[in-house]
Amino acid sequence: MTSTNVNFLEQSVSKFQSLDTDDRLTVLALLYTEICDEIPSLCLNNVPNEKTANLVAQIQNLPQAEQLFALRQLLNQDEVGETGIPTQEYASINADEKLAFWYQLAQNLGTSIIGVPDDYIPSEKATEVIDLLHTPNIEDLVNFFKQVL
């Protein structure tokens, strides 16, 4: 039986939540890109489902500048947006579905979803969170994602 390192999780979540929205999106994009091969076997057994696929499709249909705005809205879950993306629908899905949603987005970064620019340098705070989350324990990382999404 594996156990989650509670201190690691609390510290990671706290540091992540103190980042601004764009830094949080960067951390998610970079982490998902690194570990995307390991996520499906762990937690995507019954997802993606129609809700998450629909949300991903809605974001893919937006121009790239609006995609970024829509992702900011979803991550903050408190803004009423002009993009037409149903933030309340995102807010109503469970943690596993949110994990699947962001996983699906990560699969399309740089193609149908706006990617992190090649010349982008994450802030010092974002880099600190990324470094903290370079853990060999994928379950800790999945638990982190479930708490922050």
Kindly give the confidence (pLDDT) of every residue in the chain, 149 residues in length, as a single tens digit, with 9 standing for 90 and above: 445 566 878 899 999 999 999 999 999 988 887 776 665 555 555 555 788 888 889 999 999 888 988 898 888 875 555 667 778 888 888 888 888 888 888 888 889 998 888 888 889 999 999 888 876 677 788 888 889 98
Residues 126 and 19: beta-carbon distance below 8 Å: yes
Answer whether residue 142 is part of any domain: yes
Is 12 part of a structural domain of the chain? no
Enclosing domain of residue 55: 21-148
Tell whether 3 is covered by a domain.
no
Question: What's residue 1's pLDDT?
Answer: 42
pLDDT of residue 2: 46
CATH number of the domain that residue 32 is part of = 1.10.2090.10
Q: What is the pTM of this model?
A: 0.80
Domain count of the fold of the chain: 1
